[in-house]
Chain A
Amino acid sequence: MNKFKGFVYKEFLHLIRDYRTMIILIGMPVIQVILFGFAIRNELNSVNIGILDRSKDEMTQKLTSKILSSDYFILKEYLTDESQIDAAFKKGLVKEVIVFESGFAEKLQKEGRAEVQIITDASEPNMANLALSYTTGIILDFSQSLSAGKERSFVITPEIKMLYNEELKSVFMFVPGIMATILMLISAMMTSITITREKEFGTMEVLLASPLKPYQIILGKVAPYLLLSLVNLTLILWISMTVFGMPVRGSMILLIAECALFITTALSLGILISTVAGSMQVAMMISLVGLMMPTVLLSGFIFPIENMPWPLQWISHILPAKWFVIIIKNIMLKGTGFSYVYKETLVLISMTVFLLGLSIKKFKTRL
């Protein structure tokens, strides 16, 4: 047991001495949480627009100022001619141009209707769609206010309740995913790299020849990364709770237990990769392409899975991170208990058992 302690101590020293990697491994989650929390947003604010007002009357001015007072739009260009629209889009000056037809107020008065045309730069489709829908909303409100008083209006008021995340903070969506990627990065990727490194430099044989048992070697190699994972996990949770006010509505103990389960899954993945990969380079490639990329893209971390084509949805099912993200969202944000996540937990457990079994088998035949 003393030998084992010494070995683990040595492994810790290795990790701590490589301070650049340490800074990155600790700094990465912090920066990611902060970026995702503050900077990565999808909502509409301050869209630059252009206005082509062919009539320049009282009505168009009223409507223009109503649009501009909405906080969503900034008037960047006042166009005078249709041909300028294309140029303004091409320069990237505006994302939307609002065109008032000539004789706007007059038509509205006489014919009871006048037309506004909205042209969007749809090379950014989401932006175009949102901008269009906001502008339309404002114009229709304006239109209704014109008729107000004249007729009996008929109004269904939608009362919208945002569940689990009233202020629509983007960080709520991303934190579970960041936890999953960071744990994958440290527990799976780093573990696989250090073990293959040992193999590549031939020191693995020295270790195997020592009185340490194979499982002790693996445990010793894995221990520092296990600790690092826990440190990172705490850090992420702490920042998201204190800085972004993210709640843990469910049981903290359940949360920790599920995290521990996921770390085990990731570690067994790492060990499996190291038994398959012959060199550090290969281990890195497998981890990056086979683990990190899918985890970031297909786990529902940033991009909703339900909008993807079925082959990608299918792949997402075999990613442990997908299930982990669901579990974490349930516990932290929805505040559900174990009965709501037992299925996902079972999936993770069976994956872990399978991976561990496979790597033990591989490890034995290899060495």
Chain B
Amino acid sequence: MRTIFFIVRKEFRQVFRNRSMLPMIFVMPIIQLLILANATTFEIKNVNFGVLDLDRSPLSTRLASKFEASPHFTRTDYPQSQKDAEEGILKDRSKLTIVIPKNFERDLIKENKAEVQFLINAIDGGAAGIIAAYSQSIVRDFNIDEGMNLINVITPVQSSTVQVSYLHWYNPELDYITFMVPGILVLLVTFIGMFLSSMSVVKEKEIGTIEQINVTPIKKYEFIIGKLTPFFIIALFELTFGLFIAKLIFDIPFNGSLTLIFFFAAVYLVAVLSVGLVISTFADTQQQAMFISWFILVIFLLMSGLFTPIQSMPMWAQRITWFNPIAYFIDAMRMVLLKGSGFSDISKHFLIMTIYSTVVTAYAVFRYKKVN
């Protein structure tokens, strides 16, 4: 135990003597939270659109203004011809251009049907899908409203309609930042934990002190616990600090138990720090360690459900995420903070994370060898 204390003290001294460390611990989380929370949004609002109205009838004007009235759309383009309409999308003046054909109103009244063309810039496939869905629902509403008007005037019939009402629980305003911040906190903790631990052993390798440690009677587990404890504490501190900012600046709800969050974070961090340590035993230089951990982090992150939902991935990719610790923590964090899930709700996450931590730590101890 005493040996561990000596290593922990030494690591802490080294960390805090590094002048770039303090800003990294205190300033980085604020900047990251501010930038990430605002930048990483797939929310579709203010879609720029244009209307090419070849009909210029009251009905076509009403359809256009129906789109203008939608909170999702902003009219930015007023093309005069088909070519002009396509050019508008080509030059990014609009993401969507609605082409209302000639005789639109006449066809509707005469034949009860008409076609309207929606040109969507689909380079961003995800956004294009959502824009299409929004447009369809506006057209559907338009059909019902205007249809009612017309039909009621002409032939009032008794109709049977299913009415839909909806409630958005836990985040009634559908605020994207509320959704992102818990995940970003995970990112924050993971980054600092993984980078510090992956650099730690390889740094001693590079400067040569590892040899000096290896000839001492220190035990493998003492060395590893001693090395990782400071990073564990720093990362937990980072989480506390991050939660504090999340509450203060973004007013994120804390619906669940914070104790549960920290408890989970502790188990999670053991896994992350051990992954870092394993990287450290593989790498020869700090530069390599950084690249390897960056590489792994990018993959873990992209497949964590932080940005895009895991359920949207193909099955093989979803299976890969079973081995992704970040995915579990992000999910747990969102569940506990936003929905107020309790221990029993995330017990499966807990179990998996505990197994994960045990396995990776065992491997890290095994990988670290005092003798070549």
B41 touches A39 (CB 8 A): no
Residues of B within 8 A of A (CB): 20, 28, 35-36, 38-46, 48, 63, 86, 89-92, 108, 112-130, 132-137, 139-140, 142-144, 146-147, 150-151, 154-155, 157-172, 174-176, 178-179, 282-284, 286-288, 290-292, 294-295, 298-299, 302-303, 307-309, 311-314, 317, 320, 331, 334-335, 338-342, 345
Question: CB distance B112 to A153 under 8 Å?
Answer: yes
B-side contacts of A128, CB under 8 Å: 168, 171, 174
A156–B146 CA distance with the chains assembled, in angstroms: 10
Residue pair A90, B134 in contact (C-beta under 8 Å): no
- Complex interface residues of chain A between 163 and 214 (CB less than 8 A to chain B): 163-170, 172-173, 193, 197
Q: Given known contacts A158-B139, A168-B128, A329-B123, is B108 in contact with A20 (CB within 8 Å)?
A: no
Would you call A150 an interface residue if the criterion is a C-beta within 8 Å of the partner chain's C-beta atoms? Answer: yes
CA distance A306 to B37 in the complex (A): 15
Is B115 a contact partner of A42 (Cβ separation < 8 A)? no
By a beta-carbon cutoff of 8 Å, the part of chain A in contact with chain B is 18, 20-21, 24-25, 27-28, 31-32, 35-36, 38-48, 63, 86, 89-92, 108-109, 112-130, 132-137, 139-140, 142-143, 146-147, 150-170, 172-173, 193, 197, 280-282, 284-285, 288-289, 293, 297-298, 302-304, 306-309, 312, 326, 329, 333-334, 336, 340
Whether A306 lies near B335 (C-beta < 8 A) is no
* Cross-chain pairs A/B with CB under 8 angstroms, 13 sampled: A27-B295, A32-B302, A112-B160, A124-B309, A128-B171, A150-B159, A151-B151, A154-B150, A161-B118, A164-B121, A168-B125, A302-B307, A326-B92
Known contacts A24-B292, A89-B339; is-contact A115 B174 (Cβ 8 Å): no
Residue in B91, B136, B165, B168 with the greatest tally of chain A CB atoms within 10 Å: B168
| Chain B positions within 8 Å of A170 at CB level | 125-126
Alpha-carbon separation in the docked complex, A156 to B168 (Å): 29
Are A42 and B20 touching (Cβ within 8 A)? Answer: no
- Given known contacts A108-B160, A307-B46, what 11 new A-B pairs fall within 8 Å (CB)? A20-B291, A21-B291, A24-B291, A24-B292, A32-B298, A123-B338, A125-B175, A140-B140, A143-B162, A172-B123, A334-B90
- Is the pair B309, A91 in contact by a Cβ cutoff of 8 Å? no
CA distance A121 to B340 in the complex (A): 12
Q: Which residues of B contact A143 (CB under 8 A)?
A: 160-162
A150's nearest neighbour on chain B, judged by CB, is B157
Chain B residues whose C-beta falls within 8 Å of the C-beta of A39 in the assembled complex: 302-303, 313-314, 317, 320
Partner of B155, one of A42, A137, A151: A151
Contacts A133-B133, A152-B155; A119 near B167 (Cβ below 8 A): yes
Whether A163 pairs with B314 at a CB distance below 8 angstroms is no
Q: Which residue of B lies closest to A47 (CB)?
A: B311
**Are B340 and A140 neighbours in the complex by a CB distance under 8 Å?**
no
- The answer to whether B339 and A21 touch across the interface, beta carbons within 8 angstroms, is no
Q: Nearest residue in B to A126 (C-beta to C-beta)?
A: B42
CB distance from B253 to the nearest CB of A (A): 9
**A173-B116 contact in complex given A21-B288, A150-B157, C-beta closer than 8 Å:** no
Taken together as a complex, chains A and B put the C-alpha atoms of A46 and B137 apart, in Å, by 20
